[in-house]
Amino acid sequence: MTVPPRGPGDWVEDMYWHRRGFNQSKFRWRPEQARHIALVWARGRCSFETPGHLRRLDAQLLQLREYTGQIQDAMAPELREARSKLGRPQWTEGLKLLDLTPADADFIIITAHRLDPHNQHPQVRRALRGIPLPNPFSRVWELRQVHALHRAAVDLLEDEVCDLASSLAPRHGWDNLAALTTDRIGWQLERRVNEHLETRGLPEDPRRHPGQRFPLPLAV
């Protein structure tokens, strides 16, 4: 039996059943996967103690941020297509199923870098493989799951950078340490560390534990 093609008018309903059918998402990830990605980008190093470690770790973190950002960039053409083909009520309803606000979607669209159509990001291929009845909403939803996994790895490396900078600052000073990082200026690095501690807490804080999280269950 051939499944008839689904048009824009079906996208919101299909997205609803995508989440219901997969009990939220097709792509699932575990905390150890986020830790593994962080470890890979840190070149296998688990202990960070010196200013040299801070310099290398911050550079590796920047590389992982850029890699992760490319996954988000892949959402932009999907969101742009949905926004252009749907009326405002359907567009807004579809975004609710993605757990995005219109402002969130606009930000993704506006800030996305141009994609090379001949060189698809490997994690984008991973996210989009095997989606039944794919449409812009379901593709963005699965991309969001893979992006969240890599974003969790980014957070883990940021934990290490901020913890290391905080431990080294009394001996080396914020200005000297900042020169080794993307912050460059001592007060900027110190603010980065303080804001991170407010958001993520100290090493044993539960907020630092990675995990795949979904919005509230869908209404029946």
The token duo for 150 is 């890599």
- Rounded Cα distance between 12 and 31, Å, is 30
Q: How many CB atoms lie within 10 A of CB 69?
A: 16
Q: 59 pLDDT band (50/70/90 cuts)?
A: very high
Per-residue pLDDT tens for 1-55?
445 567 898 999 999 999 999 999 999 999 999 999 999 999 999 999 999 999 9
| Contact between residue 168 and residue 54 where contact means Cβ atoms under 8 Å apart | yes
Q: Which residue has the higher pLDDT, 171 or 114?
A: 171
Question: What are the boundaries of each domain within the chain?
Answer: 14-208
pTM value is: 0.93
| Contact between residue 166 and residue 49 where contact means Cβ atoms under 8 Å apart | no
pLDDT at 5: 60
- Rounded Cα distance between 33 and 19, Å, is 22
Tokens 């990001």 belong to which residue?
121
Per-residue pLDDT tens for 143-192?
999 999 999 999 999 999 999 999 999 999 999 999 999 999 999 999 99
Per-residue pLDDT tens for 118-139?
788 999 999 999 998 899 999 9
- Rounded Cα distance between 220 and 213, Å, is 20
Q: Round to the nearest angstrom and report the end-to-end CA distance of the chain.
A: 28
CA 9 to chain centre: 29
Query: CA dist 199 to 119, 194, 206, Å?
Result: 36, 9, 11
